[in-house]
Structure formats: structure tokens, C-alpha cells
Amino acid sequence: MAEISKINDNTYEVPIGYRPGMRVPGRIFVSAALRDMVESGTIDQVANVANLPGIVNYSMAMPDAHLGYGFPIGGVAAFREEDGIISPGGVGFDINCGVRLLRTDLQATSVQPRINTLIDALFEAIPSGLGATGRLHVSDQQLTDVFINGSKWAVEEGYGVEADLSHCEESGHMPGADPAQVSVRAHKRGRPQLGTLGSGNHFLEIQRVEEIYDEPVAKKFGLFKGQITVMIHCGSRGAGHQICTDHLEVLSRAVKKYNIDIPDKQLACAPLGSPEADNYFGAMVCAANYAWANRHIIAHWTREVFERYFPGSKLDLVYDVAHNVAKIEEHEVEGKRERLYVHRKGATRAFGPSRSDVLQAYAGVGQPVLIPGSMGTSSYVLCGNDRALDLTFGSACHGAGRVMSRSQALKLFTGQNVKAALNRDGIVVKATSPSMLAEEAPQVYKPSGDVVDVVHNLGIATKVARLVPLGVSKG
């Protein structure tokens, strides 16, 4: 990072001219403790994104940023509606990979003695793993309804309750879905995977609220020390991946058609308002809605398992956030309100109390920002602040961020050793394969606390609670 300049203790600037063609500077939000973990390739990707037409203010990278496809994972960029673009690389393959947090009325002292049994039951109830198929067998018409209505479809089918919808980003479904832009192949991949956890860094975790940083906000979110929470991290599965793949091919041709000069072919894009851009956006919304329905169904089955072992217990939804998505939002740019297409790839929306988008239950406070840790480390609940609107178009980090590839992890760790280490720390883990545990060892990620401290210190999103894992179900 020698060529970039330090703005403050948590902000570094990639100047125009770092790479040819930059329209705006880059901003990397990172502390001294994390600075050396930022790969040169990630900085290059921040600079490359700054080349794209219509980009506003900065090309940004959150403190968990690392090398991705086109955009860095942890990348944020906003584009003007009139002269900007939309790019699948700024959303990612796992469209609306996100996190859902359920709070219970249970104390850890009553759950911990049964944690092994509970994790076994959750692992059995919720299919997981690469290519896993679910318990549901939806028709083509039902899948189309999922693409259009997201979590609303799930509630109408008896999964979850109406109150859950008001505690989801976008109420669990974005407008603008166009199922006609979803290929037969994407339908084929998505139909059997609804209600599945997936693989990689996806998980279902039983947690204990270990620390409260802000009592009034924690109370608003319904959190208290010693409480049991459940965190669900997953996305749009094969449907989202195929939708991204399909439209990348189309937008790769659109770059040539519209004479867009890009420094990296992975930044394939199309001008906003073009048929290619509209078609991708409509398909992306379908995948986002699928992901919300997917997490909704998994949450319903989680409640059923808890009811079996803790009859009468409550599991209420704190919030559900999207990590990989492009959204049409109004933001202030140079003193004027503008409609922008905000790309958040491995980044979480972090709206403060001034935004009408914040749900009524959290009015006057700001939206919950959910930051999962790596397997075996702390997760955090934060609260979005209005400061984020000035700095990051209302965006924060989304997790810990990898510092090691999966192939490197497999050379250094074994699933057996990782599981043994977690067990010694009092964490029960269940996974479909030992290699998955090795690939997701806590050591391959940045320290989640250091990542969260950056956005907290910047005032983008401030700490409310820290959650520690008791049991983990992995794909």
C-alpha cells in the first residue's frame, strides 16, 4: 500500500492516476492492524472499478476487503442513473448472500447442556453442502412466485410469520423481478435447492450474547447478555450463481456493443437503461428474492427444532440483511438528491435513523447491521449511523474477510484438527466433510473484532453486541 495516502487512522486513498483511466479516487477503510492484510490485487481492483462510467465520489473497499471477481469482495460503488452502468462483478455470483439473526427468550445456561443434540437436529433438519437438495419440491410456477415475492411467498406457504417480513431488508422481497430473464438452467439449479444452507462460508450458528456495548440500542433490538441467538448465513444457491453466469456472457458482449472501455474483462457491464442492464437487474432481483425466501424457510425449520427441545420458546427475527446486491437508492450528491445504483459486494447496508428505509421498529435508532465472524470467532451486531451516508452511501463491512485461499487452507489445516480445536474452546461443530472445516478454519480470516472496530471508529455503524458461537452447522 506504499503508493496510497493515509487520510486518517482508518481511511486510505488510492489517488487518480494510480492506474490509467480512473475517474474518481479509491477509498480503502482499514486500520493499521489490517493494512498489511490488503493484497495488492485488491487495491488494483479498487482502482479498476474507479474506471467505470458514471461512478460517484469513490470506488470503496470495506475493512474485510479481499480479491474478488472484478470488484473486490467488500467493494462498494454507486453509479448515476443517467450515465452509469450496472455490473454483475459488483454484485457477485451468490446474489443476496446475507445474514438473518433470530433472538430467543432462552438463557445460554439452559441451552448449552443440550448443544450437541440441538446441532445434530439442526444439521438433520436443514440440508447443507455443495449441491445439496432440499426438503421442498416446488413446481416451476411456485419457483416463479418465489422469484417475484421472496419471503412473502414463504409466509403465504406457511413458513414463518407475517411479522418476520417487517424485520427484513426490503421486507424480504425487492420490486422489479423479471422471471423471463431467468434461464431454464437457473430454474433447474434453483428448484431443488430452496431451503438449503449451501457450502463454503455459509453456516447456521447457535450463539450466546457475550457482551453488550450499547444498552439502549440493544434493548431496542431485543438483545440481552447471556441470551441465545441463532445466525443464518446463506444466499441464492445455484439459482443465483447461474443467473450471474448467464448475464455475464450477455454483458461481456454489451461492453463491445456500447464501446465501454474497461481495464478488466471481469468488469463486464452495460449502460443503465439499456436492455442488457434492465434484463440483468430483473434477473438479479429474482435471485435476491429467492435468497430471502431461502433464509425464511431455514429460519422456520430452525424454529421447529427449537420447539421440539424447548417447547414454548420464542425465536423472533431481529433482522435480515443482504450482502451481495445492487439497489436503486436516493442519496445526496454535491447537495442534490440523486437516484443511484449502489453496488454492495460483500458489504452490508448500514442506514442511520434519518432514512425512511429503516423499519418502524427501529425508527430513531438505525437499522441493525449483522457482521458474522469466521467459524469459531465472534459475530457482531451493530447499528447503522447517518455518518455512513456521507462516507459510504450507507454501507459497512459484511464479515471477517479471507486472508488465505481455500487451497492454501487445505495445505495447512485438517478438518479433524480444526474440529478438535473448536471443541476445546467449547464449540460444537457439524459439517458435511472434514475438508470444509479445513477450508473455513478461523485462522484463514481476519480478526472479526479488528474489522468491526474500523467501521465503529469511523462512525459508519457502531457496536451494539458481541455474540460468541456455541454450536455450528456447516455445509
Cβ–Cβ < 8 Å for 289, 135: no
- The per-residue pLDDT string of the chain (475 residues; one tens digit each, 9 = 90 and over) reads 558 899 999 999 999 999 999 999 999 999 988 888 889 999 999 999 999 999 999 999 999 999 999 999 999 999 999 999 999 999 999 999 999 999 999 999 999 999 999 999 999 999 876 666 678 889 999 999 999 999 999 999 999 999 999 999 999 999 999 999 999 999 999 999 999 998 888 999 999 999 999 999 999 999 999 999 999 999 999 999 999 999 999 999 999 999 999 999 999 999 999 999 999 999 999 999 999 999 999 999 999 999 999 999 999 999 999 999 999 999 999 999 999 999 999 999 999 999 998 988 898 999 999 999 988 899 999 999 999 999 999 999 999 888 888 899 999 999 999 999 999 999 999 988 888 899 989 888 988 999 999 999 999 999 999 999 999 998 7
3-state secondary structure of 369: strand
In angstroms, rounded to a whole number, what is the distance separating the alpha carbons of residues 290 and 195? 10
- Catalytic residues, by residue number, are 398
Q: Please list the helix, strand and coil fractions of the chain in percent, rounded to the nearest 5, in that order.
A: 40, 25, 35
Instruction: Let me know the angle formed at the C-alpha of 395 by 392 and 396, rounded to the nearest 5 degrees.
Output: 110
Nearest CA to 60 out of 462, 454, 463 is that of: 454
Residue 23 DSSP code? S
Distance CA 321, CA 384 (A): 12
| Cβ 431 vs Cβ 475: under 8 Å | yes
Provide the sign of the torsion angle of the four alpha carbons 284, 289, 291, 294, taken in this order: negative
Look up residue 398 and give its amino acid: H
User: Contact, 318 vs 102, CB < 8 A?
Assistant: yes
C-alpha span between 339 and 328 (Å, rounded): 7
Cβ atoms 229, 85 nearer than 8 A:
no
Q: DSSP per residue over 151-191, as a string?
A: HHHHHHTTSS-HHHHTTBGGGG--S---GGGS-HHHHHHHG
With beta carbons less than 8 A apart as the criterion, state whether 374 and 454 touch: no
Q: Are 68 and 92 in contact (CB under 8 A)?
A: yes
Query: Phi and psi for 44 in degrees, rounded to 5?
Result: -60, -40
Contact between 394 and 355 (Cβ < 8 Å): yes
What's the pLDDT at 94? 96
Amino acid found at 80: R
How many Å apart are CA 369 and CA 367, to the nearest integer?
Answer: 6
The CA distance from 97 to 177, in Å, is 17
Q: Which domains does the chain have, with CATH numbers?
A: 5-403+445-474 (3.90.1860.10)
Give the gyration radius of the chain's Cα atoms: 21
The pLDDT, as a whole number, for residue 1 is: 55
